[in-house]
Structure 1
Amino acid sequence: MPGDLYLLAGRYRLIERLGQGGAGTVWRAIDEMLDRQVAVKQVRVPDGLDQRERAEFADRAMHEARSAGRLRDPAIVLVHDVVLEGGQPWIIMDLTTGRSLDKVIKERGPLPPGFVAAVGLRVLSALEVAHAHGLLHQDVKPANILLDADGSAMLTDFGIAAPMGGRGDMFGSAGSPGYMAPERLNEQPSGPSADLWSLGASLYTAVEGRAPFERALPAAVAAAVLLHEPPFPARAGRELGGLLMAMLAKNPAARPTAAQVRQVLSGLAGPGAAPQRPARRRRWWLLPAVLAAVVALGAGGWYAAAALGGKDIGRYATAPDPCTLLTDAQVTGFTKSKPERSLTRPGECQWLVRESTYPARRLIVRVWAEQPTRDLDGPAVAQRRFASEKSTRAAAEGVSQRQAYGPIREVPGLGEAAIRQNGFKFYLDSDQSGMADSILLLRTSNLLVEVVWHREDVDVEAAPGKSAEAVADPQTAVAAARMIVAALAK
């Protein structure tokens, strides 16, 4: 742990520790090059990682921090720089003078519903910008919401944001259990609705003065998130309370969309008690019934609700089982080995090819179906998500430490749109071998499918900057994708 006045990267002088949590430590520092104060986050590296895993963690952390640095919104604390020192990623951000929402709650107790709704609108704006760029915040909680003197809110700690779908949850252990959506606690794929769940839990805490799943022990908190419903937030009132309960639904498909959350909060936002607006109240009057229907219908709830509203849902009410999209015989044909198939998590299937007892190669298929919003139909949401994924992955092109990603390439004739990208990661103790990935993403109607062909112990003699393309094997991923598209057409 660095001491006071430690000079980071020859530029950032650490002055004092501002706070510490599960994701890392935040310092106040001076950027000696520009003579200004900044906040520096020392990202915590998870315990129990070997050297290779620590290097991979650091590389991915820096990549995601750079992606977060592209986000621009008045409610987002900006990320300026990211450096690697002492084997740890360090993220440099704006130093804000606001006080965290959790401290305000501790000092003042429950806050007025109108004020809480206004805070929620600001944080929602920040999340919508992040989601439009294909990033999840992953750690929305009162401690990461800062309030200025005029009461306006900002969302900080975007340095640990992670991409939707794609390459896994880099910071899956980050965050506080009481503010992590059930799917994250279950280590299942998460999307924008997970961030909205965390926002709902944060606003619940602000208006009630206590967390929705408050318990004495962290393990009990996590169990409550997974198994129990929170008490109705009586201080919130019927409208805000109903919205918060809907946002805290266990099933992601049963939660309101960002547009629906914005509609309700806009009608309630104010410095004090919620204003009475008849027109908005009439629109909101229908939402509890819709949400109740969604809860009753389960995963297909938004499908039914959208159908009633005349939306084009798209071809897929829910994503198909990825393990049914390829047969073992097909995988054997293009891997030239007998694979072991397993459903690794919901929405993801893996075919593992072993050499001796060592897992040398694996084919991974991930699927997810986008659902309509108030403003967009299902295929339009999928198209926007595909475009966001494309731009995020294109930004990764180049070399970062011992990892390289090639350019994005279009793949014609696969669904309505398809792209592929190659990646290579040198082992920590070698400049000649490492791990290679050929990644393909395609869209058809409202469905997105990702195919990853991963190979271990790949030898390369090219320079690191060329290695991703030099050892690429995109044909296997493309062949698998063509068979998947044929299976979907049946």
Structure 2
Amino acid sequence: MRAEGYLLAGRYRLVERLGQGGAGTVWRAHDETLHRQVAVKQVTVPRELTPRERAEFADRAIHEARSAGRLRDPAIVLVHDVVLEEGQPWIILDLIAGRSLDKVIKEHGPMPPDLVARVGLRVLSALSVAHSHGIVHQDVKPANILLDADGSAMLTDFGIAVPIGGRADKYGSAGSPGYMAPERLNEHPSGPASDLWSLGASLYTAVEGRAPFERAGPAAVAAAVLLHEPPPPVRAGRRLGGLLTAMLAKDPAARPTAAQVREELHAVLASPAPGASSRRRWWLVPAVLAAVALLGTGGWYGLTVLGQEDPGRFAAAPAPCELLTDAQAAQLLKGTARRAATREGECRWQVHQGSRSVRSITVRTWAEQPTGDFGGPEVAALRFANERTVRGGTEGVAFRKSVGPVSDVRDVGEAAIVQSTFERSMGAPDEGRADSTVLLRTSNLLAEVVWHEEDAKRSSKVDQKPVLATARMVSTALRG
């Protein structure tokens, strides 16, 4: 690894490291020939390669960078030069004074649909130019989408781009699992539809605030991409949400074309009248069907209700500390319970042994509001289905933590699920921390009840009776 101050090719002085990922390290550098600031990408060369394979890898990286250097579009970060030094490929690019989309989402949360549509149109423009030159990007993701001061987006990092119809990088450095199309994970050839799938996943992340196939680890993410449907978008609105769901189809042939994606993104910006927005393209129909199937007839309000902005029963979320009395908490926790409003929308009752909390109940509440496309209860129903899917994907064992399945709960709210986890203590295989969580929905309100116990004895199944009893008390209080 080169250090700051290193002079590359007698011309590019490395100033500071800007970021590092699986595909390489990006530096800010000073071009001492033209006296300007540039970005320099140090391409990661897998260590396990033989000398011959290293040479092949370097040749391919140089060839692809030169191909990318031919691309010209306002939304493409320009490639200026390629350097091979001691078998190490380096790519010289424009230095963009912007921030990556993933950082913007992490710091500011979900973006509004119209802004997401603008980002999508810019990235789509860059991809269309690349595809017209017979090149697929292969690594479209929020980290490779840069936003400048006025919100304009640019697509960077064509370092692993390949010709249309080409296969994934045999050295294993190409792409990020959550943003790789299913056919790429199956080692099938890449095409424009693969990049559009990745764009759909990136825009989904931007508007919803989390990735469509978010899971605990890369293997679980890859399995979700191949086997599961993403949770229906909630914040995107009906038109953008339907487009994103269609773009994430498993079958490349079922996805909308670039022209169809462009048309729909322009329609999102145009904010057509409700009557016009209800028109559906043939490729948007599966999005509606997927939402109905995922939510089920019991939790779905029906297509006839869509578009009616019912605000729901709750103008604001009830104070969680008022949904359970101190006497009820003490009875459930079997001890003197201390109550504290730990943060907005959350209340916790704890039983202590000395200064140490050994058992606790946490109640959280939040009310969903109409979005312009969906009423409050519809938003809550979609959010509940989203949470059910995501939580169900966490089931399994990882290191000392075991996560159980998601199960439906009867007679709690309009719909409810429960899930338990157990984490073994270090050096005590038969003891650990146990948590059981109930998520319930009623009208436009979602509430979460968490039962936590320290020093719990390990068994084949965590006892869910305490959390279910607590959830029923909270549900009763909500009905009142």
Match for residue 153 of structure 1?
Answer: 153
Q: Secondary structure at the match of 1:158?
A: coil
Contact (CA 8 Å) 1:26, 1:39: kept in 2 or not?
yes
Q: Secondary structure at the match of 2:159?
A: helix
Q: Secondary structure at the match of 2:212?
A: coil
Match for residue 456 of structure 1?
Answer: none
Deviations 1:2-32 (A, max 9, x none): 0111011111000000000110000000110
Q: 260, 275, 294: which one pairs with 2:271?
A: 275
TM-score (norm 2): 0.58
Match for residue 239 of structure 1?
Answer: 239
1:215 to partner: Cα distance: 0.9
Q: Secondary structure at the match of 1:39?
A: strand
Match for residue 13 of structure 2?
Answer: 13
Q: Secondary structure at the match of 2:26?
A: strand
Contact (CA 8 Å) 1:40, 1:92: kept in 2 or not?
yes
Match for residue 96 of structure 1?
Answer: 96
- What CA distance in whole angstroms lies between the structure 2 residues aligned with 1:223 and 1:236? 25
Q: Secondary structure at the match of 2:235?
A: helix
Distance 1:221 1:290, change over 3 A: closer
Where do residues 142-221 of structure 1 align in structure 2 (5 Å cutoff)? 142-165=142-165, 169=169, 173-221=173-221
AA matched with 1:247: M
- What CA distance in whole angstroms lies between the structure 2 residues aligned with 1:24 and 1:153? 22
- What CA distance in whole angstroms lies between the structure 1 residues aligned with 2:275 and 2:258? 20
- What CA distance in whole angstroms lies between the structure 2 residues aligned with 1:72 and 1:95? 16
Q: Secondary structure at the match of 1:160?
A: coil
- What CA distance in whole angstroms lies between the structure 2 residues aligned with 1:292 and 1:104? 30
Q: Secondary structure at the match of 1:103?
A: helix
Q: Secondary structure at the match of 1:184?
A: helix
Any stretches of 5+ residues in structure 1 without a counterpart? 294-490
Distance 1:181 1:167, change over 3 A: closer
- What CA distance in whole angstroms lies between the structure 1 residues aligned with 2:67 and 2:243? 31
Match for residue 40 of structure 2?
Answer: 40
AA matched with 2:271: P
AA matched with 2:44: R
Q: Secondary structure at the match of 1:116?
A: helix
Contact (CA 8 Å) 2:177, 2:222: kept in 1 or not?
yes
Contact (CA 8 Å) 1:255, 1:291: kept in 2 or not?
no
Where do residues 311-350 of structure 1 align in structure 2 (5 Å cutoff)? none
Contact (CA 8 Å) 1:60, 1:170: kept in 2 or not?
no
Q: Secondary structure at the match of 1:183?
A: helix
1:116 to partner: Cα distance: 0.4
Distance 1:288 1:7, change over 3 A: same
Residue 123 of structure 2 is aligned to residue 127 of structure 1: no
Where do residues 385-464 of structure 1 align in structure 2 (5 Å cutoff)? none
Contact (CA 8 Å) 1:254, 1:291: kept in 2 or not?
no
1:292 to partner: Cα distance: 8.4
Identity %: 78
Match for residue 253 of structure 1?
Answer: 253
Residue 285 of structure 2 is aligned to residue 289 of structure 1: yes
Match for residue 81 of structure 2?
Answer: 81
- What CA distance in whole angstroms lies between the structure 1 residues aligned with 2:238 and 2:277? 11
- What CA distance in whole angstroms lies between the structure 1 residues aligned with 2:171 and 2:122? 24
AA matched with 1:7: L
- What CA distance in whole angstroms lies between the structure 2 residues aligned with 1:231 and 1:16? 40
Deviations 1:397-451 (A, max 9, x none): xxxxxxxxxxxxxxxxxxxxxxxxxxxxxxxxxxxxxxxxxxxxxxxxxxxxxxx
1:286 to partner: Cα distance: 4.7
Match for residue 319 of structure 1?
Answer: none
Deviations 1:445-484 (A, max 9, x none): xxxxxxxxxxxxxxxxxxxxxxxxxxxxxxxxxxxxxxxx
Q: Secondary structure at the match of 2:214?
A: coil
Distance 1:263 1:143, change over 3 A: same
Q: Which has the higher contact order (CA 8 A, sep 6+)?
A: 1
- What CA distance in whole angstroms lies between the structure 2 residues aligned with 1:168 and 1:208? 28
AA matched with 1:232: P
Match for residue 62 of structure 1?
Answer: 62
TM-score (norm 1): 0.57
Contact (CA 8 Å) 1:256, 1:291: kept in 2 or not?
no
Q: Secondary structure at the match of 2:17?
A: strand
Contact (CA 8 Å) 1:172, 1:184: kept in 2 or not?
no
- What CA distance in whole angstroms lies between the structure 1 residues aligned with 2:171 and 2:112? 33
Match for residue 24 of structure 1?
Answer: 24
Distance 1:277 1:119, change over 3 A: farther
Deviations 1:325-357 (A, max 9, x none): xxxxxxxxxxxxxxxxxxxxxxxxxxxxxxxxx
1:46 to partner: Cα distance: 2.2
Aligned-residue CA RMSD in angstroms?
A: 2.1
1:276 to partner: Cα distance: 2.5
1:289 to partner: Cα distance: 3.4
1:52 to partner: Cα distance: 0.7
Match for residue 417 of structure 2?
Answer: none
Contact (CA 8 Å) 1:69, 1:79: kept in 2 or not?
yes
Deviations 1:26-83 (A, max 9, x none): 0000110000000000011123211111101100110110000000000000000001
Contact (CA 8 Å) 2:242, 2:287: kept in 1 or not?
no
- What CA distance in whole angstroms lies between the structure 2 residues aligned with 1:35 and 1:219? 45
Match for residue 51 of structure 1?
Answer: 51
- What CA distance in whole angstroms lies between the structure 1 residues aligned with 2:277 and 2:21? 40
1:129 to partner: Cα distance: 0.3
